[in-house]
Chain A
Amino acid sequence: MDVAIVGIGMHPFGRTPTMTGLEQGAAAARAALADAGTDFKTMQFAFGGSQDGGNADSLVNLLGLTGLQFTNVANGCATGGSSLNAAYSAIKSGQYDVGLVVGFDKHERGAFNAKPAEWGLDDWYGETGLMLTTQYFGMKIQRYMHDHGISRETLIRVAEKAFRNGSLTPTAWRQTALSWEEIENAPMVSEPLNKYMFCSPAEGGCALVVCRADMAHQFHSRPVYLKTAVVRSRNYGSFEVFSPSQPPEVAKSPTVTASQAAFELAGVGPEDIDVAQLQDTEVGAEIMHMAENGFCADGEQEQWLAEGVTEITGRLPVNTDGGCLANGEPVGASGLRQVHEICVQLRGEGGSRQVQGEPRTGYTHVYGAPGISGVNILAR
Protein backbone atom coordinates (compact mmCIF):
# COMPACT_ATOMS: atom_id res chain seq x y z
CA MET A 1 0.00 0.00 0.00
CA ASP A 2 1.42 3.40 -0.99
CA VAL A 3 1.68 6.19 1.54
CA ALA A 4 0.30 9.72 1.28
CA ILE A 5 0.92 12.89 3.27
CA VAL A 6 -2.46 14.56 3.71
CA GLY A 7 -1.84 17.08 6.46
CA ILE A 8 1.07 19.41 7.22
CA GLY A 9 1.48 21.75 10.14
CA MET A 10 4.13 23.91 11.74
CA HIS A 11 4.68 26.01 14.78
CA PRO A 12 7.09 28.69 13.49
CA PHE A 13 10.78 28.01 14.16
CA GLY A 14 12.82 30.50 16.16
CA ARG A 15 12.06 31.49 19.74
CA THR A 16 8.67 31.32 21.49
CA PRO A 17 9.42 32.15 25.15
CA THR A 18 5.76 31.77 26.13
CA MET A 19 5.49 28.13 25.00
CA THR A 20 7.23 24.93 26.06
CA GLY A 21 8.66 22.67 23.39
CA LEU A 22 5.83 20.23 24.00
CA GLU A 23 3.24 22.98 23.46
CA GLN A 24 4.93 23.91 20.18
CA GLY A 25 4.71 20.26 19.13
CA ALA A 26 1.02 20.18 20.03
CA ALA A 27 0.41 23.36 18.03
CA ALA A 28 2.09 21.81 14.99
CA ALA A 29 0.08 18.60 15.42
CA ARG A 30 -3.21 20.51 15.62
CA ALA A 31 -2.27 22.48 12.50
CA ALA A 32 -1.50 19.27 10.58
CA LEU A 33 -4.74 17.63 11.75
CA ALA A 34 -6.74 20.73 10.70
CA ASP A 35 -4.98 20.75 7.33
CA ALA A 36 -6.09 17.12 6.85
CA GLY A 37 -9.61 17.97 8.01
CA THR A 38 -9.44 15.41 10.77
CA ASP A 39 -8.82 15.12 14.50
CA PHE A 40 -6.49 13.38 16.95
CA LYS A 41 -9.09 10.71 17.79
CA THR A 42 -8.81 9.45 14.21
CA MET A 43 -5.06 8.84 14.51
CA GLN A 44 -4.26 5.15 14.94
CA PHE A 45 -0.57 5.66 15.70
CA ALA A 46 2.05 8.36 16.18
CA PHE A 47 5.82 8.56 15.91
CA GLY A 48 7.46 11.57 17.48
CA GLY A 49 10.77 12.92 18.66
CA SER A 50 12.42 15.72 20.57
CA GLN A 51 15.96 16.09 21.87
CA ASP A 52 15.51 18.73 24.58
CA GLY A 53 11.76 19.40 24.63
CA GLY A 54 10.55 16.37 26.57
CA ASN A 55 9.17 12.97 25.67
CA ALA A 56 7.13 13.19 22.48
CA ASP A 57 4.52 10.73 23.79
CA SER A 58 3.70 13.24 26.54
CA LEU A 59 1.85 15.08 23.77
CA VAL A 60 -1.16 12.89 24.54
CA ASN A 61 -1.68 14.99 27.68
CA LEU A 62 -2.32 17.96 25.41
CA LEU A 63 -3.89 16.27 22.39
CA GLY A 64 -6.01 13.63 24.10
CA LEU A 65 -5.60 10.28 25.86
CA THR A 66 -7.00 8.16 23.05
CA GLY A 67 -4.97 5.02 23.68
CA LEU A 68 -3.13 5.08 20.33
CA GLN A 69 0.29 3.51 19.80
CA PHE A 70 2.76 6.37 20.33
CA THR A 71 6.46 5.61 19.83
CA ASN A 72 9.28 7.99 20.74
CA VAL A 73 12.11 8.33 18.22
CA ALA A 74 15.61 9.59 19.03
CA ASN A 75 18.13 9.77 16.17
CA GLY A 76 19.83 13.11 16.73
CA CYS A 77 19.37 15.55 13.84
CA ALA A 78 17.86 12.69 11.78
CA THR A 79 15.01 12.20 14.29
CA GLY A 80 12.37 13.63 11.92
CA GLY A 81 13.57 11.48 9.04
CA SER A 82 13.54 8.39 11.24
CA SER A 83 10.03 9.17 12.55
CA LEU A 84 8.67 9.50 9.03
CA ASN A 85 10.48 6.33 8.00
CA ALA A 86 8.78 4.46 10.84
CA ALA A 87 5.35 5.85 9.88
CA TYR A 88 5.97 4.92 6.25
CA SER A 89 6.68 1.33 7.28
CA ALA A 90 3.61 1.22 9.57
CA ILE A 91 1.31 2.09 6.66
CA LYS A 92 3.25 0.29 3.93
CA SER A 93 3.05 -2.95 5.92
CA GLY A 94 -0.73 -2.67 6.19
CA GLN A 95 -0.62 -2.43 9.98
CA TYR A 96 -2.32 0.97 10.12
CA ASP A 97 -4.37 3.28 7.87
CA VAL A 98 -3.65 6.74 9.22
CA GLY A 99 -1.30 8.31 11.76
CA LEU A 100 0.65 11.29 12.95
CA VAL A 101 4.35 12.13 12.71
CA VAL A 102 5.47 14.95 14.98
CA GLY A 103 8.72 16.58 16.04
CA PHE A 104 9.47 19.56 18.26
CA ASP A 105 12.27 21.03 20.30
CA LYS A 106 13.40 23.85 22.51
CA HIS A 107 17.18 24.23 22.75
CA GLU A 108 19.29 26.59 24.81
CA ARG A 109 21.15 29.34 22.97
CA GLY A 110 24.59 28.59 21.56
CA ALA A 111 26.27 25.45 20.29
CA PHE A 112 25.06 22.04 21.46
CA ASN A 113 27.06 20.67 24.40
CA ALA A 114 26.94 16.96 23.76
CA LYS A 115 28.05 14.61 26.53
CA PRO A 116 30.73 12.07 25.58
CA ALA A 117 29.19 9.16 27.51
CA GLU A 118 26.01 9.37 25.43
CA TRP A 119 28.11 8.79 22.32
CA GLY A 120 30.21 5.94 23.66
CA LEU A 121 33.21 8.19 24.31
CA ASP A 122 35.25 8.85 27.44
CA ASP A 123 35.20 12.18 29.28
CA TRP A 124 38.66 13.29 28.09
CA TYR A 125 37.27 13.86 24.59
CA GLY A 126 34.86 16.52 25.81
CA GLU A 127 37.07 17.92 28.58
CA THR A 128 39.87 18.74 26.13
CA GLY A 129 37.51 20.50 23.73
CA LEU A 130 36.94 18.05 20.87
CA MET A 131 33.22 17.40 21.46
CA LEU A 132 31.87 20.12 19.16
CA THR A 133 29.87 19.49 15.99
CA THR A 134 31.04 22.87 14.67
CA GLN A 135 34.63 21.62 14.52
CA TYR A 136 33.65 18.59 12.47
CA PHE A 137 31.75 20.72 9.98
CA GLY A 138 34.73 23.06 9.63
CA MET A 139 37.15 20.18 9.14
CA LYS A 140 34.97 18.29 6.64
CA ILE A 141 34.48 21.27 4.30
CA GLN A 142 38.13 22.31 4.78
CA ARG A 143 39.27 18.98 3.36
CA TYR A 144 36.57 19.04 0.67
CA MET A 145 37.62 22.51 -0.50
CA HIS A 146 41.21 21.25 -0.70
CA ASP A 147 40.28 18.11 -2.65
CA HIS A 148 37.65 19.55 -5.00
CA GLY A 149 38.53 23.18 -5.56
CA ILE A 150 35.59 24.80 -3.75
CA SER A 151 36.22 28.49 -3.05
CA ARG A 152 35.25 30.70 -0.14
CA GLU A 153 32.99 32.62 -2.56
CA THR A 154 30.87 29.50 -2.97
CA LEU A 155 30.44 29.27 0.82
CA ILE A 156 29.22 32.88 0.84
CA ARG A 157 26.81 32.22 -2.04
CA VAL A 158 25.10 29.41 -0.12
CA ALA A 159 24.58 31.65 2.93
CA GLU A 160 23.33 34.49 0.73
CA LYS A 161 20.75 32.20 -0.91
CA ALA A 162 19.59 30.80 2.46
CA PHE A 163 18.80 34.19 3.99
CA ARG A 164 17.28 35.48 0.74
CA ASN A 165 14.93 32.47 0.69
CA GLY A 166 14.27 32.92 4.41
CA SER A 167 13.12 36.48 3.70
CA LEU A 168 10.38 34.97 1.47
CA THR A 169 9.23 32.44 4.09
CA PRO A 170 6.68 33.65 6.69
CA THR A 171 7.49 30.81 9.12
CA ALA A 172 11.30 31.27 8.93
CA TRP A 173 13.28 32.47 11.93
CA ARG A 174 15.71 34.62 9.93
CA GLN A 175 13.62 36.73 7.58
CA THR A 176 16.20 39.35 6.66
CA ALA A 177 18.33 38.91 3.57
CA LEU A 178 22.05 39.50 4.21
CA SER A 179 24.50 41.22 1.87
CA TRP A 180 27.65 39.59 0.52
CA GLU A 181 29.74 41.92 2.72
CA GLU A 182 27.77 41.13 5.88
CA ILE A 183 28.33 37.42 5.34
CA GLU A 184 31.96 37.73 4.25
CA ASN A 185 32.96 39.86 7.24
CA ALA A 186 31.06 37.99 9.97
CA PRO A 187 33.09 36.70 12.95
CA MET A 188 34.83 33.37 12.34
CA VAL A 189 33.41 30.41 14.31
CA SER A 190 35.28 27.37 13.05
CA GLU A 191 37.62 28.05 10.13
CA PRO A 192 36.58 28.33 7.26
CA LEU A 193 33.00 28.78 8.52
CA ASN A 194 31.82 32.02 10.11
CA LYS A 195 28.76 33.10 12.08
CA TYR A 196 26.38 33.42 9.11
CA MET A 197 27.51 30.12 7.63
CA PHE A 198 26.15 28.07 10.56
CA CYS A 199 22.57 27.42 11.59
CA SER A 200 21.67 27.82 15.26
CA PRO A 201 19.85 25.52 17.65
CA ALA A 202 16.31 26.88 17.92
CA GLU A 203 12.72 26.07 18.89
CA GLY A 204 9.72 24.97 16.91
CA GLY A 205 7.42 22.14 15.93
CA CYS A 206 6.36 20.35 12.79
CA ALA A 207 3.85 17.57 12.12
CA LEU A 208 2.49 15.49 9.25
CA VAL A 209 -0.63 13.36 8.90
CA VAL A 210 0.10 10.27 6.80
CA CYS A 211 -2.35 7.68 5.48
CA ARG A 212 -2.91 4.89 2.97
CA ALA A 213 -2.78 6.32 -0.54
CA ASP A 214 -6.24 4.97 -1.39
CA MET A 215 -7.71 7.01 1.47
CA ALA A 216 -5.82 10.21 0.68
CA HIS A 217 -8.65 12.14 -0.97
CA GLN A 218 -10.85 11.61 2.09
CA PHE A 219 -8.47 13.96 3.88
CA HIS A 220 -7.02 16.37 1.34
CA SER A 221 -7.62 17.37 -2.27
CA ARG A 222 -3.90 17.60 -3.05
CA PRO A 223 -2.15 14.71 -1.35
CA VAL A 224 1.60 14.30 -1.68
CA TYR A 225 2.78 10.71 -2.04
CA LEU A 226 5.79 9.46 -0.13
CA LYS A 227 7.49 7.32 -2.78
CA THR A 228 10.18 6.13 -0.41
CA ALA A 229 11.68 6.84 3.00
CA VAL A 230 15.17 5.48 3.67
CA VAL A 231 17.44 5.79 6.71
CA ARG A 232 21.06 4.59 6.79
CA SER A 233 23.85 4.73 9.38
CA ARG A 234 27.56 5.08 8.72
CA ASN A 235 29.82 2.49 7.16
CA TYR A 236 33.38 1.85 8.30
CA GLY A 237 35.50 4.70 6.91
CA SER A 238 32.81 7.34 6.55
CA PHE A 239 34.11 10.68 7.91
CA GLU A 240 31.73 11.49 10.75
CA VAL A 241 31.29 13.80 13.71
CA PHE A 242 32.53 12.76 17.20
CA SER A 243 35.20 10.40 15.83
CA PRO A 244 38.47 10.33 17.81
CA SER A 245 39.98 8.49 14.83
CA GLN A 246 39.14 7.79 11.20
CA PRO A 247 40.23 4.75 9.18
CA PRO A 248 42.73 5.21 6.33
CA GLU A 249 40.24 4.85 3.48
CA VAL A 250 37.36 7.33 3.30
CA ALA A 251 34.17 5.36 2.60
CA LYS A 252 30.82 6.44 1.19
CA SER A 253 28.87 8.52 3.70
CA PRO A 254 25.46 7.37 4.99
CA THR A 255 24.00 10.12 2.81
CA VAL A 256 25.39 8.41 -0.30
CA THR A 257 24.06 5.00 0.71
CA ALA A 258 20.64 6.36 1.76
CA SER A 259 20.33 8.43 -1.40
CA GLN A 260 21.27 5.59 -3.74
CA ALA A 261 18.80 3.25 -2.03
CA ALA A 262 16.04 5.88 -2.14
CA PHE A 263 16.46 6.54 -5.87
CA GLU A 264 16.49 2.82 -6.58
CA LEU A 265 13.37 2.12 -4.50
CA ALA A 266 11.48 5.09 -5.96
CA GLY A 267 12.47 4.22 -9.52
CA VAL A 268 13.60 7.74 -10.29
CA GLY A 269 16.97 9.45 -10.63
CA PRO A 270 18.46 12.77 -9.53
CA GLU A 271 17.52 14.28 -12.91
CA ASP A 272 13.83 13.69 -12.11
CA ILE A 273 13.85 15.86 -8.97
CA ASP A 274 12.23 19.30 -9.35
CA VAL A 275 12.89 20.71 -5.87
CA ALA A 276 15.12 19.51 -3.01
CA GLN A 277 15.79 20.05 0.67
CA LEU A 278 19.37 19.15 1.63
CA GLN A 279 20.65 19.26 5.21
CA ASP A 280 22.42 22.60 5.60
CA THR A 281 23.42 22.81 9.24
CA GLU A 282 26.18 24.94 7.71
CA VAL A 283 26.97 26.05 4.17
CA GLY A 284 29.62 23.36 3.63
CA ALA A 285 27.03 20.68 4.37
CA GLU A 286 24.72 21.92 1.63
CA ILE A 287 27.61 22.00 -0.84
CA MET A 288 28.85 18.49 -0.01
CA HIS A 289 25.33 17.08 0.21
CA MET A 290 24.61 18.23 -3.36
CA ALA A 291 27.22 15.72 -4.51
CA GLU A 292 26.59 13.05 -1.85
CA ASN A 293 22.92 12.92 -2.87
CA GLY A 294 23.92 12.39 -6.49
CA PHE A 295 22.80 15.73 -7.93
CA CYS A 296 26.24 16.83 -9.16
CA ALA A 297 29.85 15.64 -9.28
CA ASP A 298 32.34 16.62 -6.56
CA GLY A 299 33.58 20.11 -7.40
CA GLU A 300 30.73 20.98 -9.77
CA GLN A 301 29.06 22.95 -6.96
CA GLU A 302 31.47 25.79 -7.70
CA GLN A 303 29.86 26.31 -11.10
CA TRP A 304 26.32 25.46 -9.96
CA LEU A 305 26.33 28.13 -7.25
CA ALA A 306 27.90 30.72 -9.56
CA GLU A 307 25.21 30.04 -12.17
CA GLY A 308 22.32 30.00 -9.67
CA VAL A 309 21.27 26.41 -10.44
CA THR A 310 20.02 25.92 -6.86
CA GLU A 311 18.14 29.24 -6.61
CA ILE A 312 14.32 29.18 -6.53
CA THR A 313 14.47 30.22 -10.19
CA GLY A 314 17.16 27.64 -11.06
CA ARG A 315 17.05 24.15 -12.52
CA LEU A 316 17.20 22.43 -9.10
CA PRO A 317 15.99 24.75 -6.32
CA VAL A 318 17.57 23.72 -3.00
CA ASN A 319 16.26 24.75 0.43
CA THR A 320 13.54 27.06 -0.88
CA ASP A 321 12.47 28.03 2.66
CA GLY A 322 16.00 29.02 3.65
CA GLY A 323 16.82 25.60 5.11
CA CYS A 324 18.36 25.14 8.54
CA LEU A 325 20.43 28.29 8.01
CA ALA A 326 17.37 30.58 7.97
CA ASN A 327 15.04 28.44 10.09
CA GLY A 328 17.42 27.31 12.81
CA GLU A 329 17.47 23.74 13.98
CA PRO A 330 15.01 22.44 16.55
CA VAL A 331 16.46 18.95 16.21
CA GLY A 332 13.26 16.92 16.63
CA ALA A 333 11.32 19.03 14.12
CA SER A 334 13.96 19.94 11.56
CA GLY A 335 13.74 16.89 9.28
CA LEU A 336 9.95 17.23 9.17
CA ARG A 337 10.24 20.91 8.20
CA GLN A 338 12.05 19.75 5.09
CA VAL A 339 9.15 17.45 4.15
CA HIS A 340 6.66 20.20 5.03
CA GLU A 341 8.38 22.58 2.59
CA ILE A 342 8.42 20.01 -0.22
CA CYS A 343 4.69 19.43 0.33
CA VAL A 344 4.11 23.21 0.17
CA GLN A 345 6.03 23.37 -3.11
CA LEU A 346 4.32 20.33 -4.69
CA ARG A 347 0.90 21.68 -3.68
CA GLY A 348 1.79 25.05 -5.24
CA GLU A 349 1.33 26.92 -1.96
CA GLY A 350 4.77 28.54 -1.81
CA GLY A 351 3.61 32.11 -2.44
CA SER A 352 6.54 34.38 -3.25
CA ARG A 353 8.98 31.48 -2.93
CA GLN A 354 6.96 29.08 -5.10
CA VAL A 355 9.07 27.17 -7.63
CA GLN A 356 7.60 27.83 -11.06
CA GLY A 357 6.63 25.16 -13.58
CA GLU A 358 4.43 23.15 -11.18
CA PRO A 359 7.07 20.87 -9.63
CA ARG A 360 5.98 17.24 -9.49
CA THR A 361 8.79 15.44 -7.64
CA GLY A 362 10.64 16.51 -4.51
CA TYR A 363 13.49 15.24 -2.37
CA THR A 364 14.47 15.66 1.26
CA HIS A 365 17.73 14.76 2.98
CA VAL A 366 18.48 15.02 6.68
CA TYR A 367 21.79 14.17 8.35
CA GLY A 368 22.42 13.56 12.03
CA ALA A 369 25.27 12.78 14.39
CA PRO A 370 27.14 10.51 14.46
CA GLY A 371 26.41 9.50 10.89
CA ILE A 372 22.71 8.90 10.17
CA SER A 373 21.01 10.05 6.98
CA GLY A 374 17.35 10.01 6.05
CA VAL A 375 16.17 10.52 2.48
CA ASN A 376 12.56 10.90 1.31
CA ILE A 377 11.32 11.13 -2.26
CA LEU A 378 7.90 12.71 -2.68
CA ALA A 379 5.60 13.22 -5.66
CA ARG A 380 2.13 14.59 -6.29
Chain B
Amino acid sequence: MPDAKPLHPGLFTWPSPSPSLIGSRCLDCGEHAFPGQSSCRACSGQNTAVAELGNEGALWTWTIQSFMPKSPYHTDETPETFRPYGVGYVELPCGLKVESRLRENDPEKLRIGMAMKLEIVHVRKYSDGSDLVTFQFCAAEEDS
Protein backbone atom coordinates (compact mmCIF):
# COMPACT_ATOMS: atom_id res chain seq x y z
CA MET B 1 0.00 0.00 0.00
CA PRO B 2 2.69 2.53 -0.98
CA ASP B 3 0.21 5.25 -2.01
CA ALA B 4 -2.21 4.61 0.80
CA LYS B 5 -3.43 7.55 2.87
CA PRO B 6 -4.47 7.41 6.51
CA LEU B 7 -8.26 7.66 6.90
CA HIS B 8 -7.54 10.23 9.62
CA PRO B 9 -4.25 12.07 10.18
CA GLY B 10 -2.25 11.77 13.37
CA LEU B 11 -3.45 8.39 14.64
CA PHE B 12 -0.32 6.46 13.60
CA THR B 13 3.08 7.15 12.04
CA TRP B 14 2.75 6.90 8.24
CA PRO B 15 4.34 6.04 5.96
CA SER B 16 6.62 3.95 8.10
CA PRO B 17 8.20 0.49 7.90
CA SER B 18 7.01 -0.07 11.47
CA PRO B 19 3.96 2.11 12.15
CA SER B 20 3.34 3.19 15.73
CA LEU B 21 0.24 4.67 17.35
CA ILE B 22 0.41 8.40 18.08
CA GLY B 23 -1.21 9.97 21.11
CA SER B 24 -0.35 12.64 23.61
CA ARG B 25 1.32 12.78 27.01
CA CYS B 26 0.58 15.36 29.68
CA LEU B 27 3.80 17.12 30.65
CA ASP B 28 2.31 18.03 34.04
CA CYS B 29 0.86 14.71 35.29
CA GLY B 30 2.31 12.16 32.83
CA GLU B 31 -1.01 10.65 31.73
CA HIS B 32 -1.39 9.53 28.10
CA ALA B 33 -4.34 9.91 25.72
CA PHE B 34 -5.30 8.44 22.37
CA PRO B 35 -6.06 10.13 20.05
CA GLY B 36 -3.75 12.90 21.18
CA GLN B 37 -5.38 15.96 22.71
CA SER B 38 -4.24 19.43 23.68
CA SER B 39 -5.83 19.33 27.13
CA CYS B 40 -5.44 16.64 29.78
CA ARG B 41 -8.41 14.47 30.85
CA ALA B 42 -6.72 13.63 34.12
CA CYS B 43 -5.50 16.95 35.54
CA SER B 44 -7.41 19.50 33.36
CA GLY B 45 -4.08 21.05 32.32
CA GLN B 46 -3.21 22.23 28.82
CA ASN B 47 0.42 21.27 28.68
CA THR B 48 0.56 18.17 26.48
CA ALA B 49 2.96 16.88 23.85
CA VAL B 50 2.66 14.41 20.98
CA ALA B 51 3.85 10.95 22.03
CA GLU B 52 4.47 7.71 20.15
CA LEU B 53 2.60 4.92 21.93
CA GLY B 54 4.21 1.90 20.26
CA ASN B 55 2.79 -0.98 18.24
CA GLU B 56 2.25 -3.83 20.67
CA GLY B 57 0.27 -4.64 23.78
CA ALA B 58 -1.93 -7.16 25.57
CA LEU B 59 -5.63 -7.75 24.93
CA TRP B 60 -7.59 -6.28 27.89
CA THR B 61 -11.10 -7.16 26.70
CA TRP B 62 -12.83 -7.97 23.43
CA THR B 63 -16.08 -8.67 21.58
CA ILE B 64 -17.15 -9.56 18.04
CA GLN B 65 -19.17 -7.18 15.85
CA SER B 66 -21.46 -9.70 14.20
CA PHE B 67 -23.73 -7.46 12.08
CA MET B 68 -22.83 -4.72 9.60
CA PRO B 69 -23.18 -1.38 11.42
CA LYS B 70 -25.44 1.34 10.03
CA SER B 71 -24.02 4.72 8.95
CA PRO B 72 -21.63 6.30 9.98
CA TYR B 73 -19.88 2.96 9.23
CA HIS B 74 -18.18 3.56 5.88
CA THR B 75 -16.08 0.90 4.20
CA ASP B 76 -16.10 -0.78 0.77
CA GLU B 77 -18.20 -3.62 2.16
CA THR B 78 -21.77 -4.45 1.19
CA PRO B 79 -24.20 -6.48 3.30
CA GLU B 80 -23.18 -9.43 1.10
CA THR B 81 -19.43 -9.03 1.60
CA PHE B 82 -19.52 -7.90 5.26
CA ARG B 83 -17.36 -10.05 7.48
CA PRO B 84 -17.77 -9.91 11.31
CA TYR B 85 -14.81 -8.27 13.02
CA GLY B 86 -13.31 -8.30 16.46
CA VAL B 87 -13.20 -5.20 18.66
CA GLY B 88 -11.05 -4.90 21.74
CA TYR B 89 -9.03 -2.75 24.08
CA VAL B 90 -5.30 -3.35 23.84
CA GLU B 91 -3.21 -2.38 26.86
CA LEU B 92 -0.07 -0.62 25.62
CA PRO B 93 3.31 -0.61 27.44
CA CYS B 94 2.50 2.87 28.87
CA GLY B 95 -0.64 1.38 30.46
CA LEU B 96 -3.10 3.19 28.19
CA LYS B 97 -5.78 0.89 26.74
CA VAL B 98 -6.61 1.67 23.11
CA GLU B 99 -9.85 0.59 21.45
CA SER B 100 -9.28 -1.07 18.09
CA ARG B 101 -10.67 -3.36 15.49
CA LEU B 102 -9.09 -6.81 15.70
CA ARG B 103 -8.19 -8.98 12.73
CA GLU B 104 -9.49 -12.10 14.53
CA ASN B 105 -13.26 -12.61 14.48
CA ASP B 106 -13.38 -16.11 15.99
CA PRO B 107 -14.15 -16.09 19.74
CA GLU B 108 -12.03 -19.22 20.09
CA LYS B 109 -8.95 -17.29 18.98
CA LEU B 110 -9.30 -14.39 21.39
CA ARG B 111 -8.50 -14.40 25.08
CA ILE B 112 -7.83 -11.68 27.63
CA GLY B 113 -4.09 -11.18 28.14
CA MET B 114 -2.93 -12.45 24.73
CA ALA B 115 -0.10 -10.53 23.00
CA MET B 116 -1.23 -8.23 20.19
CA LYS B 117 0.53 -6.19 17.53
CA LEU B 118 -0.45 -3.24 15.37
CA GLU B 119 -1.12 -3.51 11.65
CA ILE B 120 -2.32 -1.05 9.03
CA VAL B 121 -5.30 -2.16 6.95
CA HIS B 122 -7.47 -1.00 4.06
CA VAL B 123 -10.76 0.78 4.90
CA ARG B 124 -12.03 1.94 1.48
CA LYS B 125 -10.99 3.52 -1.81
CA TYR B 126 -10.67 7.31 -1.84
CA SER B 127 -12.31 9.24 -4.70
CA ASP B 128 -8.93 9.53 -6.50
CA GLY B 129 -8.53 5.75 -6.46
CA SER B 130 -6.02 5.58 -3.63
CA ASP B 131 -6.41 3.38 -0.56
CA LEU B 132 -7.59 4.83 2.75
CA VAL B 133 -6.07 2.90 5.64
CA THR B 134 -6.42 2.69 9.40
CA PHE B 135 -4.93 0.75 12.31
CA GLN B 136 -6.05 -2.49 13.88
CA PHE B 137 -4.48 -5.13 16.10
CA CYS B 138 -3.91 -8.83 15.48
CA ALA B 139 -2.47 -11.73 17.47
CA ALA B 140 1.30 -11.19 17.85
CA GLU B 141 2.23 -14.82 17.20
CA GLU B 142 0.53 -14.84 13.78
CA ASP B 143 2.85 -14.57 10.76
CA SER B 144 5.59 -13.09 12.94
Q: Is A245's CB under 8 angstroms from B99's CB?
A: yes
Interface string of B105-126 (1 = CB under 8 A from A): 0010000100000000001000
Query: Cβ of B60 < 8 Å from any Cβ of A?
Result: yes
In the complex, the answer to whether A127 meets B31 with C-beta atoms within 8 Å is no
A131 within 8 A of B: yes
Contacting pair A132 B65 (CB below 8 A) = yes
Q: In this assembly, does A243 line the interface, its C-beta being within 8 Å of a C-beta of chain B?
A: yes
Judge whether B50 is part of the interface by a CB distance below 8 angstroms: no
A246 contact from B69, B73, B96, Cβ within 8 A = B96
- Are A128 and B7 interface neighbours, CB within 8 A? yes
* B72 & A131 in contact (Cβ 8 Å cutoff): yes
Mark A126-158 against chain B: 1 for CB-CB distance below 8 A, else 0: 111111100100111011001000000000000
Contact A140-B73, Cβ < 8 Å, known A124-B11, A128-B134, A129-B101? no
- Measured between beta carbons, the chain A residues less than 8 angstroms from B60 are 143
User: Nearest A residue to B67 by beta-carbon distance?
Assistant: A189
In angstroms, Cα B84 to Cα A188, docked, is 11
Q: Which partner residue on chain A sits nearest B33 by CB separation?
A: A245
Tally of contact residues, A, Cβ under 8 A: 35
- Determine if A143 and B61 form an interchain contact, defined as CB atoms under 8 angstroms apart: yes
Flag whether B139 is at the interface (Cβ < 8 A): no
Check A191–B96 contact: CB distance below 8 A. Answer: no
| A129 engages B66 (CB within 8 Å) | no
On whether A127 and B87 interact (CB within 8 A), knowing A132-B65, A191-B107, A248-B97, the answer reads no
Residue B137 interfacial (CB < 8 Å)? no
Q: Which residues of chain A in 84-130 are interfacial with respect to chain B, using CB atoms and an 8 Å cutoff?
A: 110-111, 113, 115-116, 122-124, 126-130
The answer on a CB contact under 8 Å between B96 and A245 is yes
A126 touches B72 (CB 8 A): yes
Question: Which residues 154-187 of A have a CB within 8 angstroms of B?
Answer: 187
Cβ contact within 8 Å between A122 and B8: yes
Q: For A244, give its contact among B35, B72, B107 (CB under 8 Å).
A: B35
A139 touches B61 (CB 8 A): yes
- The interface residues of chain B lying within 8 Å CB-to-CB of A129 are 65, 69, 73, 75, 85, 87, 101
Check: A190 CB closer than 8 A to any chain B CB: yes
Q: List 16 A-B contacts (CB under 8 A).
A: A124-B8, A128-B7, A129-B85, A130-B87, A131-B73, A135-B87, A139-B62, A139-B89, A140-B61, A190-B64, A191-B62, A191-B66, A192-B63, A236-B41, A245-B33, A245-B99
Q: A129-B69, A236-B41 are in contact. List 12 more A-B contacts (CB 8 A).
A: A110-B70, A111-B69, A124-B134, A128-B75, A129-B85, A130-B101, A131-B73, A135-B87, A139-B61, A190-B63, A190-B66, A246-B97
